[in-house]
Amino acid sequence: MSSVKCGTIASALFFVGFSFAIAQPGKTSLQAQPIGTTTRAQERWAARTLKRLTLEEKIGQMIEVRGIMGYYNADDPAFQQLIADIRKYHLGAVHLSVNTDGPLLLRTDPYEAAMTTNLLQQESHSKVPLIFSVDFERGPSMRLTSIEAFPPAMAFGATRNPAYVEHFAKIVAQESRALGINWNFYPIADVQINPENPIINTRSFGEDPQEVSSMVTAYIRGSHEGGMLTTLKHFPGHGDTDTDSHLNLARVNAPLERLNAVELPPFKAGIQAGSDAVMIAHVAFPALEPDPTKIATTSRNVVSGLLREQLGFKGVIVSDAMEMKGLTKIYPEGGGNAAGRAAVDTVKAGQDLLELPSDLDGTYNGLLQAVKSGEISRTQLDASVRRLLLVKAKAGLDARGRHLVDLNKIQNSVGKPSSYALAQEVADHAVTLVRDDNHMLPFHRNDPTPFLVVIFVSDAHGDDGRVLEREIRSRIQGATVIYVDRRSAALEAEGIAALASKAQHVIAAVYSVSQPGPAEVAATSASGLAAQGSAGILRNILDTAGDRTVVLALGSPYSILNFPFIRTYLCTYSWVPTSERSAAKALFGEIPIHGKLPVTLPGIAKRGEGIEREAVTSANAVTNQ
């Protein structure tokens, strides 16, 4: 479910060489076709292929491991291990990501991504082509360079324009398919109703089930138009949790009536729109599953009863990452095969594909023994594998010789200027002015009075804030800009206090990013600054210069809840460079401000509110755009 998933090096993919990765002469390169309902030809292919598979090969089709996109030597032991795993366990799917440095994703080049998928298809030696999935929630730019940076889902929610979502989804699909990637674990259908939610937050389109349903439907439509498979997540809803399921057991204690009214409608809409898969959350739902030893992942009531039978979903049911603590803490190691037991329980609940097992060998052998003993019926096994083969067929992996991509076509498909323009348009339209009590905005370009810009980030030496700083300096050349993180806060506090008391204008930019991992890795939590030193600096700024301060929420809009006396508050719902540019343009009146809150800020503003402002300055006059 996350943009960062921890894993062992044995699950990493390492690229081996250009000569192996290019589509071979005489073979037709994989061409993406729109995704539609399954055809009779695809059903016949799935039936024929299923008959050809051994029991061991069927088990392998149900397991997905991680692959890392990038270049490494052919003799690297981690690369050799991944290839060996794919062949030994007959694996059917690889979830592609990139290496990480703490919470940071170390992005790679689109060509390396494409060469990676080609190489793995060639090296797998499987009867059935591999299918490649990704978490491209904000598009390929999350993990690849030279691609437009779209903001998170909540920014789309602030525009109230499903057409943006559909266009975005089609772009993501076309770019992904050009790289050999078939399946996006998206859209997020979670309804964000808990301000303390540390992991969904801006990844959700908002708090209104109908608006989320509209956006989810638009995303599926656009993704299918571009030829990419979709996955609704995280069923039956992760929006009302205050725990990150990557780290611990999360729970939704709502009654059945609330689940039917809030959590479930977007999933119903997505199923009706034809989503190819649904991902199950590692979350407990007592109203749906009274057994305290089970979460949604292992609950037959949730997976088979609610999703498969009551809602009539016929596609692939995918687990969230099996390595996440929200699941593994229920199956502690104690001399037995904990990963195997978790896998068996997950499949018995009704799931078809197990994503990122914590122990590949234990998972594979656990499932194999369960089928041989009859604990998992061969009828159920065949039904799951058939569904997996059908999605492969829908992605074009049923045709002989169409499994590789043409590197020569990437330049025509990835990172188009029109895609950059759409990303900027969405970010511009998402900007929401929640408060401007003192009528501070817009600022005037080349204002000679003292400007202080304090940028609260998780890492003062990272990328966050750099584009914002450049954009502000292009308009106010004499601005003083200071970065604050949890390590520097104590050192910066006194100097910032002195500067704030003298500044005519103060801009406090709060980067609040919802991502998995310990709270201390982020500059802010869902509702405010996590690091006490940073919170103290912002509080002091507001106490001494609150009537001269604009607070920018670059990420979660909930930061104001810990500082309700903020006088001027502007939300972008996003920290990507595109949104940093939008924030600067909005501050100086270069774009109209029409965004509306997709969520309620309790005690501050209601969903749907937002102050309207027209542009007063031409953005064309500003450099560095």
**CA-based R_g, the chain, Å:** 24
Q: Note the Cα 1 to chain centre separation in Å.
A: 7
**pLDDT for the residue 520:** 32
Q: What is the largest CA-CA distance in the chain?
A: 79
Average pLDDT over residues 119-126: 90
Listed residue (373, 420, 338) closest to 141, CA to CA: 420
Indicate whether 400 and 436 sit together in one domain: no
The answer, yes or no, to whether residue 93 has pLDDT greater than 90, is yes
State residue 289 phi and psi, 5-degree precision.
-135, 100
| Average pLDDT over every residue of 88-102 | 93
Same domain, 567 and 599: yes
Q: φ and ψ at 614, to 5 degrees?
A: -90, 155
Q: What angle do CA 478, 484, 488 make, to 5 degrees?
A: 120
Reply yes or no on whether the pLDDT at 6 is more than 60: no
Cα atoms found within 13 Å of the Cα of residue 79, Cβ hemisphere only: 16
Residue 221 lies in a domain: yes
Kindly report, residue by residue over 487-497, the tens digit of the pLDDT: 899 999 999 99
Q: Is residue 102 part of a domain?
A: yes
User: Does residue 28 lie within any of the structural domains?
Assistant: yes
What pLDDT score does 621 carry? 45
Burial of residue 101 (number of CB atoms within 10 Å: 0-12, 13-18, 19+): exposed
Helices in 27-147 by DSSP H: which ranges?
Answer: 40-52, 55-61, 77-88, 110-124
Domain match, 570 and 487 both:
yes
Interatomic CA distance for residues 155 and 167, integer angstroms: 15
What is the rounded (10 degree) CA torsion for 410, 411, 413, 417?
Answer: 150
Q: What is the CATH number of the domain that holds 256?
A: 3.20.20.300
Give the closest residue to 472 by CA, choosing from 391, 590, 380, 360: 590
When mean pLDDT is compared over 134-143, 240-249, 516-525, the highest value belongs to 134-143
Contact 282, 329 (CB under 8 A): no
Question: Is-contact 166 182, C-beta < 8 A?
Answer: no
DSSP state letter for 38: P
pLDDT, tens only, 177-218: 999 999 999 999 999 999 999 899 999 999 999 999 999 999
CA distance 86 to 223: 28
Domain end call among 348, 375, 409 = 409
Which residues lie across from 231 on neighbouring strands? Answer: 277
Distances (CA, A) of 519 to 63, 203, 243, 254: 31, 17, 11, 25
Report the pLDDT value the prediction gives residue 10, as an integer from 0 to 100.
35
**Amino acid 104: pLDDT:** 79
The tally of domains found in the chain comes to 2
**So what's the pLDDT on residue 75?**
87
The Cα 278–Cα 490 span in angstroms is 46
| Angstrom distance (rounded) from CA 441 to CA 439 | 6
| pTM attached to this predicted model | 0.92
pLDDT tens digit sequence for 454-509: 999 988 988 999 999 999 999 999 999 999 998 899 999 999 999 999 999 999 99
Same domain for 447 and 564, yes or no, is: yes
Note whether residue 415 is domain-resident: no
- Asked whether the bond before 518 is cis by omega within 30 degrees of 0, the reply is no
Average pLDDT, whole number, for the chain? Answer: 90
Domain of residue 442, CATH code: 3.40.50.1700
CB 49 within 8 A of CB 389: yes
| 25 and 135 assigned to the same domain | yes
Give the separation between CA 80 and CA 60, rounded to whole angstroms.
18
* H or E element at residue 283: strand 283-284
Distance of alpha carbon 413 from its chain centroid, rounded? 22
Q: How many CA atoms lie within 13 A of 212 on its CB side?
A: 31
Contact criterion met (CB below 8 Å) for 563 and 412: no
489 neighbors 448 (Cβ within 8 angstroms)? no
Question: Nearest Cα to 143, choosing from 104, 178, 88, 92?
Answer: 104
Place of tokens 């949104």: 579
Residue 291: closest CA among 312, 277, 308, 305: 305
100 pairs with which residues across the strands? 105
Same domain flag for 98 and 61: yes
* 147-180 pLDDT per residue, tens: 999 999 999 999 999 999 999 999 999 999 999 9
Q: How far apart are CA 157 and CA 161, in angstroms?
A: 7
* SS3 (DSSP) at 571: strand
Instruction: Give the C-alpha separation, 315 to 317, whole Å.
Output: 7
**Structural tokens at position 438:** 């003192």
Higher per-residue pLDDT: 430 or 74 = 430
**CB-side neighbour CA atoms (13 Å) of 359:** 19
Q: Which two tokens stand for residue 424?
A: 């900027």
Range of the structural domain that residue 478 is part of:
431-621
419 located within any domain: no
Do β-strands 480-484 and 451-456 pair in parallel, antiparallel, or remain unpaired? parallel
Which of the two residues, 119 and 618, has the higher pLDDT score? Answer: 119
Among left, alpha and beta (phi > 0; psi -120 to 50; other), residue 176 is: alpha
* pLDDT score at 31: 63
Please give the Cα distance from 86 to 84 (Å, whole number): 6
| Residues 156 and 164 sit within 8 Å (Cβ to Cβ) | yes
CA–CA gap between residue 26 and residue 430 (Å, rounded): 47
Last residue of a domain, one of 409, 441, 462: 409
Domain end marker among 374, 409, 444: 409
450/104: higher pLDDT: 450
Residues 444 and 398 in one domain: no
**What pLDDT was estimated at residue 618?**
63
The answer to whether residues 463 and 508 belong to one domain is yes
Burial (CB < 10 A; 0-12, 13-18, 19+), residue 6, is middle
- Chain-centre distance of CA 8, in angstroms? 21
Looking at the structure, do residues 386 and 451 belong to the same domain, yes or no?
A: no
Report the residue count for the chain: 625
Structural domain contains residue 9 = no
pLDDT in tens, 60-90: 999 999 999 988 778 888 888 999 999 999 9
Handedness of CA 109, 114, 119, 124 (dihedral sign): positive
Q: How confident is the model at residue 516 (pLDDT cuts 50, 70, 90)?
A: low
In a domain, 6, yes or no: no
DSSP 308: I
Helix axes 209-225, 162-178, angle to 10 degrees: 40
Q: What is the Cα 201 distance to its own chain's centre?
A: 11
Query: E strands along 281-370, which residues?
Result: 283-284, 316-319, 354-355
Whether residue 359 is found in the same domain as residue 449: no
- Classify residue 499: in a domain, yes or no: yes
Q: Which residue has the tokens 């690849």?
A: 144
Q: What is the pLDDT of residue 335?
A: 60
Based on the domain organization, do 484 and 396 belong to the same domain? no
pLDDT-based confidence at 524, cuts 50/70/90?
very low
Q: Is residue 133 a contact partner of residue 183, using CB atoms and an 8 Å limit?
A: yes
Residue 513 pLDDT exceeds 70? yes
Category of 275 on φ-ψ map: left (φ > 0), alpha (ψ -120 to 50) or beta: beta
The whole-number average pLDDT for the span 298-319 is 98
Residue 4 Cα distances to 115, 354, 498, angstroms = 22, 18, 39
Binned at pLDDT 50, 70 and 90, residue 21 comes out as very low
Residues 142 and 284 in one domain: yes
Q: Give 338-380 pLDDT, tens digit per residue.
A: 999 999 999 999 999 999 999 999 999 999 999 999 999 999 9
Catalytic site residues?
246, 320
User: Are the CB atoms for 586 and 622 separated by under 8 Å?
Assistant: no
